[in-house]
């Protein structure tokens, strides 16, 4: 059981981009970062090992799901900077896959560094890069609902 003080990252409404499906996915990614952090600091070594491995797997998979959904939407909307945005997703995914291999319960420092990297990249990417496609995607989604 956690309380607000235990939460590693507090979701903030300033991270919202105003596209509900994407906001939900971003919130879920932040939640997964928090669960990763919880599993790293868990007292019970067995629980820690199990939780860390399963949350890590879920986190890596969900990053893939989110990027795929976001990319499909950017492509459908004809977003000008799609190629550049996709390069950022691909570079991050590659780094996550490489780094997550070193992240296990035997290497707590690597695990903490990993979750910090994950969190910082996600928040910065959401706030600076994802927000850039919002006008284009909103226009596309509005047109689509009128059809
Ligand atoms: Fe929400 Fe470009 O990742």
pLDDT one-digit tens code per residue, 89-125: 999 999 888 877 777 656 778 888 888 899 999 999 9
**Assessment of whether the complete model's pTM goes beyond 0.85:** yes
Report the pLDDT value the prediction gives residue 7, as an integer from 0 to 100.
63
Report the pLDDT value the prediction gives residue 1, as an integer from 0 to 100.
45
Nearest-atom number in ligand 1 for the CA of 88 is 2
Report the pLDDT value the prediction gives residue 140, as an integer from 0 to 100.
97
Give 77 Cα–ligand 1 centroid separation in angstroms.
15
| 120-137 per-position pLDDT tens digit | 999 999 999 999 999 999
Q: Which residue has the higher pLDDT, 86 or 112?
A: 86
40 falls in which pLDDT band (50, 70, 90)?
A: confident
Give 45 Cα–ligand 1 centroid separation in angstroms.
33
Q: Which residue has the higher pLDDT, 1 or 119?
A: 119
Give 147 Cα–ligand 1 centroid separation in angstroms.
27
- 93 burial (CB, 10 Å; 0-12 / 13-18 / 19+) is middle
Report the pLDDT value the prediction gives residue 10, as an integer from 0 to 100.
86
How far is it, in rounded angstroms, from Cα 119 to Cα 41? Answer: 16
> Which residues neighbour 6 within 8 Å (Cβ) at sequence distance 6 or greater?
38
Q: Which residue has the higher pLDDT, 89 or 145?
A: 89
Q: What is the mean pLDDT of residues 53-80?
A: 94
Number of Cα atoms under 13 Å in the Cβ half of residue 128: 7
For residue 83, the surrounding DSSP H or E stretch is: helix 82-102
The dihedral region occupied by 104, where left means phi > 0, alpha psi between -120 and 50, and beta the remainder, is beta
Q: How many residues does the chain have?
A: 147
> Which residues neighbour 69 within 8 Å (Cβ) at sequence distance 6 or greater?
21, 22, 25
Nearest-atom number in ligand 1 for the CA of 133 is 2
Ligand 1 pocket (Cβ < 6 Å) reads: 26, 66, 70, 85, 89, 125-126, 129-130
Give 128 Cα–ligand 1 centroid separation in angstroms.
10
| Token digits of residue 123 | 């928040």
Instruction: Judge whether residue 39 has pLDDT over 50.
Output: yes
How far is it, in rounded angstroms, from Cα 53 to Cα 45? Answer: 12
Instruction: Judge whether residue 28 has pLDDT over 70.
Output: yes
| Token digits of residue 69 | 């959904």
């Amino acid at each position: 059981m956690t309380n607000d003080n235990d939460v590693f990252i507090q979701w903030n409404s300033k991270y919202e981009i105003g596209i509900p499906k994407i906001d939900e996915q971003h919130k879920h990614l932040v939640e997964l970062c928090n669960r990763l952090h919880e599993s790293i600091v868990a007292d019970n070594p067995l629980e820690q090992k199990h939780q860390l491995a399963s949350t890590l797997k879920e986190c890596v998979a969900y990053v893939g799901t989110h990027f795929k959904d976001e990319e499909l939407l950017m492509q459908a909307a004809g977003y000008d900077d799609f190629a550049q945005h996709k390069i950022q997703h691909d570079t991050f995914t590659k780094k996550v896959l490489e780094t997550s291999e070193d992240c296990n319960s035997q290497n707590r420092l690597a695990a903490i560094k990993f979750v910090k990297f994950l969190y910082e990249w996600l928040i910065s990417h959401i706030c600076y890069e994802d927000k850039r496609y919002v006008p284009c995607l909103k226009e596309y989604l509005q047109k689509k609902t009128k059809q």
